A = this chain, B = another copy of it.
Amino acid sequence: MTTIPTSATTPTIGVFDSGFGGLTVLRALIERLPHARYAFLGDTARLPYGSKSRRTIARYAAQSAQFLVREQGAEFLVIACNTASALALDAIQDAVPVPVLGVIEPGATAARRASRTGDVLVIATEATVHSHAYAAACQARGLRALEKACPLLVPLVEEGWTDHPVTEQVIDIYLNELRAEAAAQGLKQDTLVLGCTHYPLLRTLIERAVRPGVKVIDSAESAAQAAVELLNGRVAPGCPILSESAAVGSDRVGGTSSPERQTEIHCFATDSVEKFERLGSRFLGRPVGHVELIDLGG
């Protein structure tokens, strides 16, 4: 495993997802580390990963990680895909010689920090819930977690109905079902984890729908924060990758901001560039620009 360069050159952070939902993780990274170079790969030709076997997912994810490291020079990888994080993190770590951070462990860690009762709820896609990766990561931190699949939320986000009465009703239905199940199990939840990279776009509606006092943990934000903390331990003080905003709350990095430096983002997809370019900006909060089509083979 190599370490992040300690020179003043701008290192490259690779972000990988099976689709483009992981752009919410990239967005959260940019907010904290605006002066890095980013390479984002969406393996859109082979999504959804959720319906595929662990072996197939490991092979796809390893190929994608190798592209980011070998072709794009990524020195640090964030796996912004819940399915790959749940089923293939080891395989990715074996496949590349750089540090790799998944999206599930940071979400569970943030839930541990936020929860006083020790009972948390998790909403995610069917595939993520089926893997029980969040429940396992929460349990490893002494939390009781109840997970619920919310299959309509991703299509509602992709339809652009992020502030729509129909979406509000669907969220209410899902959360009511989840609360009823939690009550039946005697849970006293005070934390809700958004376990899908699409859900940050629904955060306003979800926060409106939860009971008062329940904290909403956005696993995209948590993963970005964990990346900053990891980099804090690896990057030399004054390295331009860490801006002042990233250094907030840190006592290890002084952080000099370089206003003339721009965030550099390169997006790649294995298919569906049109949809990526059209919808991606909603997730990234800025134009994704040109998305380059690449071929990773079968």
Contacts and interface: CB of A to CB of B under 8 A. Distances in A.
Nearest to A45: B52
Given A152-B159, A165-B169, A169-B169, 20 more contacts: A44-B51, A45-B51, A45-B56, A47-B51, A51-B271, A51-B272, A51-B275, A53-B271, A151-B158, A151-B159, A152-B152, A152-B155, A152-B156, A154-B155, A155-B155, A166-B166, A166-B169, A166-B170, A166-B173, A298-B298
How many copies are assembled? 2
Interface residues on A, range: 20 to 34
Interface string A130-170: 00000000000000000000011011101100000110011
A165 B56 CA distance: 39
Nearest to A46: B46
A168 to B, nearest CB: 10
A275 B130 CA distance: 12
Nearest to A164: B173
A271 B57 CA distance: 13
Query: Lowest 9 CB-CB distances: which A-B pairs, in order?
Result: A298-B298, A155-B155, A51-B272, A152-B155, A151-B159, A166-B169, A51-B271, A152-B159, A151-B155
A53 B271 CA distance: 8
Contacts of A47: 51
A198 to B, nearest CB: 12
Interface string A257-269: 0000000000000
Interface string A159-189: 1000001100110010000000000000000
Interface string A261-286: 00000000001100100000000000
Most buried by B among A53, A159, A169: A159
Contacts of A275: 51
A53 B56 CA distance: 21
Interface in A44-74: 44-45, 47, 51-53, 56
A46 to B, nearest CB: 9
Most buried by B among A45, A51, A275: A51
A155 B48 CA distance: 14
Nearest to A154: B155
A64 to B, nearest CB: 16
Contacts of A159: 151-152
Contacts of A155: 151-152, 154-155
Contacts of A169: 165-166, 169
Interface in A88-113: none
A45 B53 CA distance: 9
Interface string A232-271: 0000000000000000000000000000000000000001
Contacts of A170: 166
15 contacts: A45-B52, A45-B56, A51-B272, A52-B271, A151-B155, A151-B158, A151-B159, A152-B152, A155-B155, A165-B169, A166-B166, A166-B169, A166-B170, A169-B169, A298-B298
